[in-house]
Structure 1
């Protein structure tokens, strides 16, 4: 029974609890047992929430008493260790914040709890959430449950590893340039960065700058993402970027319910892409076409004119240094890990370059606006390669040598533009690793993103790629084989 529970998605667990077929205590215990069995090898978990079992017992009593239950009643969830959790340490992956215990939940955590979910644990990240691998001086390096020699990504890599390995059915991550969608692609789970501001960043470091930052759900299925997003979205009266109330997402269907026009692309404008990844994007486009969706290859000229990763770097380096300076008050630079040191050492962007980058960002947004005046959604890759080995600093991709920052080529444009994007598995590499595609929609049109993703998920289930069915097999020696 425990093994069955840990690979259910959150929606199924909520239904089982509501029908009294399983208790919240059984569900929480099953996931705690899984953490105990596997996390010594995967290292996804930073700290357990001490009150999880007590909360599960209270949730069980509510079910037995016939009380009104929230949509996630009794379902455990995890949260990245940059997201504040009342009474549970939030150390941001840095010795500078060692032992820091917030007195209040972040808005996103509070909203999942209000829906009945139970905080299970905090998950690993790079220091301050700044890198594409999850490694820091406090809690070490997280490993990919498909292959322990590979990364589960960053900066929400602990979260992606925990969900992929069955240690958590649902989680919260943050995304500055890649950090929700990339880790999901490394481990074959599902995640979504909604339109900028749809989910408040209150209670998440850094408070400023946050114009490119997002917090979003990570899970085992598209329907879980939709369920969690419905709880998370909407203003909280504290984050000024969050002003639009949640909208009805409608009923998600595995068959088209209205005419859709979808484009697909792997470049130019994103950097080089491995042919097997490009083939997966094309296969996703063909799957939609086979379902009767109008699909065609496209290009977005604005992305070819202005490389979004370069635009982002010129803007954010100028903005993030004050936040880093606040974190290192008292000249504690000697306590920083390698990537934070690197970030602080980057040269300032000149004012003329900063202004040009601002104008380029507007051109990118305009380019997407023109695209979405003609199309309902866009399909791209998430990462240009499958999950890579730990510590690799450069890659040869389709014959071109690039540094590791280029892995953000297809994800960072959505942060610059503020568009919603969902990462979901749709393929398998030659080495047996997951390959995800990215579904992109117009501003505030998460409903269409989720609908297109649901269509693709229906096909992926037939192919045996649904994360709730396809379980990590590459690290059997670590106990990740579920059979």
Structure 2
């Protein structure tokens, strides 16, 4: 535990030293992305699907509009790893022909294929047959997915048309989407900054209006963090609601499995709801996603800030203000408001580190020239710090955590496991089926790519829901004075995803939700 704390303090010090240098180097703003001109790009996936079913729009028109937008913004964002544009247009033509010929009916499609003809995008680590599945690591250069993963298969069965796969950090291990195969992705609101990770390329495309609905995955905030940075909605479901098959690296049968979930990312809250209905259709749990939620019957618990060393990871005033405004709004609507103590949130990082104690984390540092050789973790991490490794620094640090079992003594790890289980039972009892918990998604609104490695501990805001097995939705709350997205996450009890999604829709109506980047 002492070693883990020393590492965190060292990162804080490095961040403190490097931050002014990075700001000085990056002071000049890069060109902004082009503005959204096609009105179709401002329509929700739910509405697009309905209009396609009813013959008011063709799928080909919608698909081509999104392909055009991707081509327009990707030179600024570097979010796309590999595309299937020609195949997607052909898929759309088939959808339109089937509707025109009467082979399919609108009423049937609404029930059986509610995303019929709607384009989607997919995180590169989520298997999409025939497209890149490298994990952004050199040892897998040129690797393609042999089949669709479970989440992609369900969305395609619901009629969705995949357009491309999007960039991630190497092996999904970092806060910034960069790797040595596909390069670094950029934020549509300020291209000097990061779109986050690990679903960062996905978040950037959606935030830029170049995708309407995306597939992400979340193990320590990898859906919600990019959702914050790119101004969109993102939902991490209750573990087990969506099948985990088809992800690289595969978390199944490891101590990280219960932390992991696939989930939807979108610009409109109603699309999260629709996607979750599709993805959870066979889960066999009473999610009751269509059950109405009245704010006056809700109990709202909140924390605006998580205590940290010398306040270094304190939440910025704009995020605290967004939480305050949302709480005040819900209070006016009749919800009861309660502030939670720090005991619920302050040790979430240590809870995560305790998962490395089992020693069954996959070996991720595979030599691209000699796959059978095992890299020395400390040496590789030192080389990566100076840019001399074939692996990125964040992947090397993850491997180091696995090697040294989270830098926690076994006795402490056992203690944290017991505390985690006790906390899960207490929070689920507290929230019940009518309580939500609001807290920041991240301590600030954006991230400088060069500093991402030194902010790893800031994921403790997101890890709370992973550790406690709670569903969580990031809710965008507009832009701050610098034009960067702000927002927070809404959690609920186990299997109470409907509360997160319903509150997201209510707050979108009240505060506007996604705001397009300024051109």
Return the TM-score normalized by structure 2: 0.82
Deviation at 1:356, TM superposition (A): 2.3
Match of residue 179, structure 1, among 198, 208, 222: 222
Return the alpha-carbon distance in structure 2 between the equivalents of residues 376 and 443 of structure 1: 11
1:227 positional shift: 0.2
* Aligned position for 2:18: none
For residues 118-133 of structure 1, the aligned pairs below 5 Å read 118-133=161-176
The match for 2:509 is: 458
Pair 1:418 & 2:469 matched? yes
Cα distance, 1:407 vs structure 2: 2.4
Shift of 1:252: 5.4
> Structure 1: how far apart are the matches of 2:342 and 2:284?
27
Give the counterpart of 2:141 among 80, 91, 98. 98
- Structure 2 counterpart SS, 1:92: coil
CA distance in 2, matches of 1:197, 1:373: 19
Q: Distance in 1 between matches of 2:88 and 2:291?
A: 32
State the Cα deviation string for residues 308-347 of structure 1 (Å, max 9, x = none).
Answer: 1122023237556434267974237554222212222345
Deviates more, 1:318-327 or 1:52-61: 318-327
Could you tell me which of 292, 308, 316 is aligned with 1:274? 316
Kept in 1: contact 2:136–2:170 (CA 8 A): yes
Q: Which residue of 1 aligns with 2:332?
A: 290
Question: 1:73-472, aligned counterparts within 5 Å?
Answer: 73-208=116-251, 209=254, 210-233=257-280, 244-245=284-285, 247-250=287-290, 256=294, 259-268=297-306, 272-299=314-341, 301-304=343-346, 307-316=347-356, 319=359, 321-324=361-364, 329-331=371-373, 333=375, 335-346=390-401, 348-349=404-405, 350-373=409-432, 376-393=435-452, 403-461=454-512, 466-467=513-514, 470-472=515-517
Structure 1: give runs of 5+ residues left out of the alignment.
236-242, 395-402, 474-480
Aligned pair partner of 1:41 in 70, 76, 92: 76
- Stretch moving more, 435-444 or 320-329: 320-329
Aligned-partner Cα distance in 1 for 2:472–2:197: 17
Q: C-alpha separation between the residues in 2 aligned to 1:233 and 1:374?
A: 18
SS at match of 1:120: strand
- CA 1:383/1:79 → structure 2, altered by over 3 Å: closer, same or farther? same
Q: Cα deviation per residue 1:126-148 (whole Å; 9 max; x = unaligned)? A: 01111110000111101000000
Higher helix share: 2
Structure 2 unaligned regions, length at least 5: 1-35, 376-388
Tell me which residue corresponds to 1:476. Answer: none
Corresponding residue number in structure 2 for 1:400: none
May I ask how many residue pairs the two structures share in their alignment? 449
Residues 302 and 363, structure 1, Cα contact 8 Å, conserved in 2: no
